[in-house]
A and B are shown apart, each in its own frame.
Chain A
């Protein structure tokens, strides 16, 4: 069994000072899935499920997760943090789309560092949920 932390650890291990673009792309992709799984854990703990109609309305399972974090908090003290991690994950998602599908676009280490900062924010919020 693997965890969101494992995805995050792998993402960080893929890039160093001399990493080629392909490793940066893979790292961004893994960072996104780390964020996704942290978000999914939080949603399962603190959010109500979407209705069938709400699920059908969402474009896909990833959008559905972010809608759930945004709209379905069952703990008022965590509502703002749940929305925050959804927004942070959405930002990584966008870079992941480019990293995996847009081969002609230049993906830089700075893009990865931005994603890593967002992932760090999600990890910190997730840890706070458990305290």
Chain B
């Protein structure tokens, strides 16, 4: 049986190999929604408040506990803001959109966080992104797990992360994905 340390070393080796094997170019522009999502950072309520105030030109204290809609952000429909809610519970509205039980959704997020922690990767923030397939009348939800690594490394970590996730979770909903991504 592998010890935790030897497991970690094996995982780290795997990531290095994958990283070496991946030779894609790193070009492009950051997502236009990044600024919008920044305030989902669980440990930075002050940043959230500053962001809300700069974006909406109103004191954040005036809107805490309400639903804020962001027009023209088609992958972010509505986001509940409250300083008192548990960090994962801000995703409940997203779970609802894909008909996923909140407890199951939060458990999957906890598992995802645990895996990144085992990989010794610090999670910067979580971006929920909604994709609407008009042809199949389907809605898909992706949780982008944003890490402070370059694009190529994030891609390699995403592969290792996905392998670990499928080995631990019996049934990932077909309309939900997790994606490890770079802040670049």
Q: Which residues of A contact B (CB under 8 A)?
A: 17, 58-60, 62-63, 66-67, 70-71, 80, 83-84, 87-88, 90-91, 93-94, 97-98, 101-102, 104-106, 108-111, 113-114, 116-117, 120-121
Q: Of the 9-residue stretches B43-51, B62-70, B102-110, B132-140, which lies at the interface with chain A? A: B132-140
Which residues of chain A are near B25, meaning CB under 8 Å? Answer: 17, 109, 113
Q: Which residues of B contact A (CB under 8 A)?
A: 22, 24-29, 32, 74, 129, 131-138, 140, 142, 151, 155, 158-159, 162-163, 165-167, 171-172, 174-175, 177, 179, 181, 184
Query: What are 21 A-to-B residue pairs whose CB atoms are below 8 Å?
Result: A58-B174, A59-B175, A60-B136, A60-B137, A60-B138, A63-B174, A63-B175, A80-B167, A87-B162, A88-B162, A90-B140, A91-B177, A94-B140, A97-B133, A97-B140, A101-B133, A110-B26, A110-B27, A114-B155, A114-B181, A116-B24
In the bound assembly, the distance between CA atoms of A96 and B32 in angstroms comes to: 18
Number of A-B residue pairs, CB cutoff 8 Å, is: 93
In the bound assembly, the distance between CA atoms of A63 and B136 in angstroms comes to: 9
Whether the Cβ atoms of B142 and A94 lie closer than 8 Å is yes
A-side interface mostly: helix
Which residues of chain A are near B29, meaning CB under 8 Å? Answer: 106, 108, 110
Whether the Cβ atoms of B131 and A98 lie closer than 8 Å is yes
In the bound assembly, the distance between CA atoms of A70 and B171 in angstroms comes to: 7
Task: Output the least CB separation between A109 and chain B (Å).
Answer: 5
Whether the Cβ atoms of B177 and A87 lie closer than 8 Å is yes
Whether the Cβ atoms of A110 and B28 lie closer than 8 Å is yes
Which residues of chain B are near A101, meaning CB under 8 Å? Answer: 132-135
Whether the Cβ atoms of B177 and A94 lie closer than 8 Å is yes
Whether the Cβ atoms of A84 and B166 lie closer than 8 Å is yes
Report if A117-B159 is in contact (Cβ < 8 Å); known contacts: A63-B138, A102-B74.
yes
Whether the Cβ atoms of A91 and B179 lie closer than 8 Å is yes
Which 3 A-B pairs rank lowest in CB-CB distance, beginning with the nearest? Answer: A108-B28, A110-B28, A113-B24
Task: Output the least CB separation between A96 and chain B (Å).
Answer: 9
Task: Output the least CB separation between A28 and chain B (Å).
Answer: 12
Whether the Cβ atoms of B167 and A108 lie closer than 8 Å is no
Report if A109-B27 is in contact (Cβ < 8 Å); known contacts: A84-B162, A87-B165.
yes
Whether the Cβ atoms of A59 and B177 lie closer than 8 Å is no
